[in-house]
A and B are shown apart, each in its own frame.
Chain A
Amino acid sequence: MKIYKNMFKISSISLACLALLTATSCLDDLDTEPIDPTVVTAGQFLTDENSALQLLAGVYSNFTLPSQTGPTDSNISGLDAGSSTFSRTMWNLQELSTDEAVWSYENDPGIPDLQRNVWNDSNEFISGMFGRNALSLTLANDFLRSSEGLSINNIDVMRAEARFLRALAYYYFMDLYGKAPFVTELDPVDPTFQPPVAERQQLFDYIESEINEILPSLSAIGQGPYARADQGAAYMLLAKIYLNAEVYIGENRYSECVAACNSLINSGAYTLNPNYAFNFTSDNNLSNEIILGLPSDGLLSQSFGSTTIILNGEVGSIEGNGDEIGVNGFGGAMRLRKQISEILEVPAAGDRNTLKTAGRTISVTSIADRDSGYTHAKYKNITSQGVPGSDRTFADTDFPLFRYADVLLMYAEAVKRGGTGGSESQAVQFINDLRNRANAPTIGATELTLLFLIDERGRELFWEGHRRQDLIRFGRFTGGTYNWEWKGDTPNGSSIPDFLKIYPIPARSLATNPNLTQNTGY
């Protein structure tokens, strides 16, 4: 009995000591570190050229992928993963609001008001694009911040590319919303930070100066690896902002546009692909016409944005032409409105007319009726040699964000609008280069008018994400000059107010950042 007591006296004291000991040592356990090999703390990541390339690929990927964890996850919120990709929201904002396309399934949130031009600041795509595009800013800034001062092979080129991608994101803000949250690598990463706001003029100046500053650091024109921005992409972006400068900042900068186009043309780095269709096949990465493509791979780079949504949308309800397009299709998700079909139907389109008309009305009599309105087969998930892509859902076809044909069209337009440094005869020649390539009749000098050019841009570039910007520049987007079916939510189209040229600042973005103000009219 007594022995036991002493034993317990000792053991309980040691027990108490043990408890205290474990208590203090266990508090250190609260500092946990990631276990999964795919995650490291930021400071440990960037060590060499490979890891820098991975981080840079992360910035690029934000222009076409929704996440790092497959096509159905998204690293932004507010809309479904596929719709949240830059490539799809940008495409929807530039195309669905115009004559070029309708999306058949109006039970998808954000679709009806977007394609009927009655959107407001709660529209899912308008919100999603704002969030996705801003993520490009923070990702590029993070790359610049974490690579600052590191001596890694080719880091200067990569840093210049990150700055290009940031400028590219600001360009879309400027074009779509007229303003942007303005953040650089000097700003904090903090959920409570409320970035200052830059308006169009400031954005224009910033993009222009950034591009000019990074040009020397970028890979030479046409010399960068495919899908990475080189000087060609930089000149292209300059040409774009100069061409639209009247819209953006009310200034005539057409001569600078011509100059930027000349830099691209005279470099000889790009040529028109002899076959128009090969710019939209699953091996279009081989086309020497693509200045900057957003890559897609059915096995390794999957999303429900980019060309995957375009290709599956092309497959028609009547045609069931999945084998022709190279994907299973969504049962007739997209069609063309009558006005663009008419532009594409004329002989002038040549090979660029891939319309499917059999059994269809040219008019989209009802958006829900997938048999009304034409479809087409511009993009294919099949190689130029006829070999199907690697997957029946996810495309191998890259999205041609910037294409050389556009340079020729921009040259012609800038010259026509009074830009110096080029000539109308050269412009006509460029247009006829495109026409010849498409086996379409050539034009004479007198036919080169602005009205001709907007239609020609439609024929050449339709479904490539340019239409809204083009129509605005030609004064044909708002107002009643040019009406297309369902414009203004009427079957035959009606005038819409001017303020719709700029999308509203999303309600959720306004709420989180009081520095933002709503655009006029909303």
Chain B
Amino acid sequence: MKNLLNKLIFILILLPLSIFAQNSVSGSVTDANTAMPIPGANVIVKGTTNGTTTDFDGNYTINGIENGDVITFSYVGYQLSVVTFTGQATLNSSLSEDTAVLGEVLLIGYGSVNKRDATGSVTQITTEDFNNGNIVTAENLINGRAAGVTVNTSGAPGSGSTIRIRGGSSLSASNDPLIVIDGLPITNDNAGGSRSILAGLNPADIESFNILKDASATAIYGSRASNGVIIINTKRGSSKTSVQYDVNFGYNTITDQIDVFNASEFRNVIEEQFPIAGSNTNAQLQARLGNSDTNWQDEIFRDVFSVNHNLSIRGAIADVLPIRFSTGFNRQPGNIETSEFERSNFSLALNPKLFEDHLKINVNANYSREDNRFADTGQIGAAARFNPTQAVYDPTNPFGGFFQYLNADGTKIAETPGNPVASLLQRRNAGNVDRFYGNVEFDYKLHFFPEMRAVVNVGYDRSFGEGSDVTDPTSINGFDAGSTINDIQFNNISSYTSLRKNKNLNAYLVYTKALGDFNLEATGGYDYQVFERNDFTTNNTNDPASNPPRLTEPIDVVLASFFGRLNIDFQKKYLLTLTYRRDGSSRFIDEFRFANFPAAGFAWKISEEFAENSTLSNLKLRLGYGITGQQEINQGALFNIYQSSISTSQNVSQYIFGDTPIATALPGYRNQSIKWEETTQYNVGLDFGLFEDRISGSVDGFYKESKDLLISAPIADGANFTNQGFQNIGNLTAKGVEVSLNTDVIKTENVNWNISYNATVIDREITKLAQGSDIEIGGRSGGTGGTIQVHREGQNPNSFYVYQQLYDTAGNPIEGAFRDLDGNGIINSNDRYIRGNPDADVTMGFRSDLKVKNFDFSFALRASVGNEVYNNIASANAYYSLINNQGFPSNVPTSVTETGFVSQDAQIINSDIYVEDGSFLRMDNVTLGYTIRNAFNANANLRFYTGCQNVFVLSDYSGLDPEIPGNSGIDNNIYPRPRTYLVGASLSF
């Protein structure tokens, strides 16, 4: 595919035409390395349209040639060879491989295209552009590197990320982009016991990310492409033997904590504030104060060392079987006590080419093992709240020697705050996942019809996770069997297994033809994929009130699709791409099962219109249009929404007739007209390069409109088996501009300085909802079942929906006083208004790479402007009355001294005082390295480096970190991101 496409490109590059046909010449074209013939190589008389391609034995004949004509021999992936014709009868040429050319090839799904000829908005990020530092999960290699792409990862080791391309096109359906690894589309549904879908990937195995952003590029993936596509290409074998070993060590530390009172401040606050209206007496609290001074957050957080080893060997077995083998080991303890992530990777790539390169086989086989221990992030909030006057340990306490509140007789009290250190240390929630994924691709150029290639790709991805969650027998959080609270204490024990399977087959034909000034490439094929999963859990086997062990087997998801793509160009200047995909999904009923996704992309290489121009080296205008879809709803459901089905109840949800428990049977929500969500996207882009691309970049403007949104929306009461369910109702638009710039500021033999910058402006708006009615979402803590956000027509999705706080003349907030926005004299839910949303208006990425002789120095910055954050830590906790936590003295954030708020209710918790500007500038990474070249032989390089990750965050936000994982904008119990100091070395030879 690559080869054919590039062949076309080269033919066209060399067009300017005039023919003086006199003589003829013939010969063969071979690989300089292997001496094997190269079929399909281009042989062109320079400055004319006279040319041909070699046959499958590498032979050619060219007519109408004059003495002095310059003949060029070219083939994709090889350096150009130029020979002047001086009347030779035979003219043979041997071409050498050109790695630089390969780097320019973009992967676009079922094929590739030379970057210069791309019509869509595609960003490629390859190894040299990857982020530095302690990169645990693959997506963090590209965080901040591509315009229009945001990656948001929590601080938990190996944790998943929220990846958004151009903001997300859905409301209730998935907003995750489709990720394709070596041609295998993967699911976003990871197995139990695993941290995330990409946690099993070794970042060191990745060669490139190709991010398809506009619909003219993504539509080839049809129904799953609305949120963009990320194609991950892994490293392959090569003919040269090389070995690379990398190791790095990190020191990870938490830099900030929730500000709460220390022990003496806490005693004072109780003295000052209690007794207060709405609370128990002072004496009850005083009785439960101790004599210690404990910072509970210090006790649950820790500094940890992480280590990362990677070894890869590339080469060719017997010179014919290019192979790459790699292994990696990553150990990343978490900064919350007991949290652990460990990963081992083994990866094998075989890339043989057979029958004079007519048959290329690519085999990727990867195995990864993830070992996790999960810490309950709820303990972060618990630690902030726990009584600072008590010590962590109490040797006399029967519950494992930790301090716990007890009755006077030493027995357990129901419903008390528990010691957060004990809750962490006395629980082991661990899981491990074995994952195998890989694919085999056969790419066969037909011997009898070399313009045609047939490609068959078979992919398989299987994860099996197992784990258990066990509390220590002495833990106070154990289960009380028997009738009174201190009857018999059992530990909680449960275990689970989890299986995910994903099987893919795709097969397609590619036909390439040059017709005069036109070049044509046609691709057509079929793609079939099935996702299977099941989960088994024992539940708490010591608790008779919990469900008995149960295997859950959701319905399979099957996708079957036909796709086609036509690339036509005229004189290499005008490029047109037409794509079409017809997708079928098992999620929908016959009638709505299939949908068509067409797209068109057009590019005009304006710079080709001019004679060689040293200032303007590249200028290309791109126009794109396309329709993509979204069908990913009800992940893991037991049945499809369109089916009428009956479910029987679990053990704990039976109904009792007389003395007989009956497993209830209920029909499930049914919508027979459920179908695809559709996104239409328009894109205008301009790629430019100045001074031989010393300065290069692109600007893209896009407009997306999603209609028939799959929204879990209210249903008329009495019309179905629930009052809210998935329907195709609603429209959402997103518009934005992306800019990226790349400059080689200095490019000399000893000094190289490269700067890259990208910025994205996005604005999303809901234009239609079912019956125009609001959907309240965004669960927040504090009270049961409260929400803080709303989907509303005319507004950004997830807008914060709050009461307007009133302030006194001194500027202090008046507790419980809100503006009566509807003026009816009563403050109720009708008085809420919209204040901001968690989406950034502008995101930016900046990176500087400086190489001075053997030193390298780089840093990366990322910024987000205009995103709001709801400080749920403060809104749920910062009230004086909460110091009395059902009779137990509990800490509250010191921000309570600023508001002076005493009591929490359902209105004050939704006050706009808690919605803050979350704009930030973060330095993700700074790295300094030194390379010893020719370390112990001519090919060996040894590089040492040191760096710091998460160097600083500048923000006005009063909480810890305004970058909220999941992009929810609701800050609560967030696993903090550590700062990492890193040293490492890499050796290659």
Contact = CB atoms under 8 A, between A and B. Distances in A.
Given A38-B638, A61-B664, A189 B560 contact: no
A36 B552 contact: yes
B719 A190 contact: yes
A67 B655 CA distance: 11
A39 interface: yes
Given A112-B907, A135-B721, A300 B714 contact: no
Q: Is the interface of B mostly helix, strand, loop or mixed?
A: loop
B830 A120 contact: yes
Contact of B645 (A40, A190, A295, A393): A40
Contacts, number: 386
Contact of B280 (A45, A83, A365, A371): A371
Given A295-B656, A301-B653, A508-B773, A82 B545 contact: no
Contacts of B903: 368
A41 B641 CA distance: 11
Nearest to A38: B648
B812 interface: no
B484 interface: yes
Contact of A298 (B528, B545, B562): B545
A192 B671 CA distance: 9
A492 interface: no
Interface residues of A, number: 130
Contact of B656 (A26, A301, A391, A514): A301
A120 B829 contact: yes
Interface in B418-454: 444, 446-448, 454
Nearest to B57: A1
B108 to A, nearest CB: 21
B657 A107 contact: no
A183 B719 CA distance: 8
A5 B447 contact: yes
Given A8-B358, A32-B555, A34-B639, A134 B906 contact: no
A76 B724 contact: yes
Contacts of B485: 322-323, 328, 392
Interface string B259-270: 000000000000
Contacts of A67: 653
Contact of B828 (A122, A139, A181): A122
B528 to A, nearest CB: 5
B813 interface: no
A299 B644 CA distance: 30
Interface in B596-650: 638-640, 643-650
Contacts of A390: 483, 544-545
A512 B717 contact: yes
A99 interface: no
B645 A42 contact: yes
B723 interface: yes
A138 interface: yes
Nearest to B643: A41
Interface string B844-886: 0000000000000000000000000000000000000100001
Interface in A83-99: 83
Contacts of A508: 714, 723, 773
A509 B717 contact: yes
B244 interface: no
Interface residues of B, number: 116
Interface stretch (A16-24, A418-426, A434-442, A464-472): A16-24
B558 interface: yes
Given A36-B554, A41-B643, A68-B650, A8 B447 contact: yes
B767 interface: no
Interface stretch (B186-194, B301-309, B392-400, B779-787): B779-787
A329 interface: yes
A191 B666 contact: no
Nearest to B822: A120
Contact of B448 (A5, A110, A195): A5
A513 B717 contact: yes
A19 B507 contact: yes
Contacts of B662: 53-54, 57
Interface string B665-694: 111111111000000000000000000000
B90 interface: no
B721 A139 contact: yes
A189 B716 CA distance: 11
B584 interface: yes
A12 interface: yes
A75 B448 contact: no
Given A35-B555, A79-B785, A299-B545, A41 B654 contact: no
B785 A109 contact: yes
B717 A112 contact: no
B377 interface: no
Given A38-B650, A65-B655, A108-B906, 9 more contacts: A4-B355, A8-B355, A54-B665, A60-B664, A70-B653, A106-B904, A108-B786, A109-B785, A391-B545
Closest 8 CB pairs of A and B: A388-B483, A80-B785, A368-B278, A511-B773, A107-B783, A134-B717, A328-B414, A131-B723
29 contacts: A12-B446, A12-B454, A29-B586, A34-B639, A40-B646, A42-B644, A55-B665, A57-B654, A57-B655, A57-B664, A57-B665, A58-B666, A65-B653, A65-B655, A68-B647, A77-B712, A77-B714, A83-B784, A105-B783, A108-B906, A118-B828, A142-B721, A187-B719, A195-B716, A225-B660, A299-B652, A301-B656, A368-B905, A512-B770
Interface of B: 277-281, 355, 358-359, 413-415, 444, 446-448, 454, 456, 480, 483-485, 505, 507, 509, 526, 528, 530, 544-545, 547, 551-558, 560, 562, 584-586, 593, 638-640, 643-673, 712, 714-725, 727, 770-773, 776, 782-787, 826, 828-830, 881, 886-887, 903-907, 909
Interface of A: 4-5, 8-9, 12, 15-16, 19, 22-23, 26-27, 29-36, 38-43, 45, 51, 53-55, 57-58, 60-61, 64-65, 67-71, 75-80, 82-83, 105-113, 118-120, 122-124, 130-131, 134-135, 137-139, 142, 180-183, 187-195, 225-228, 295, 297-302, 317-318, 320, 322-323, 326, 328-332, 365-371, 387-394, 507-509, 511-514
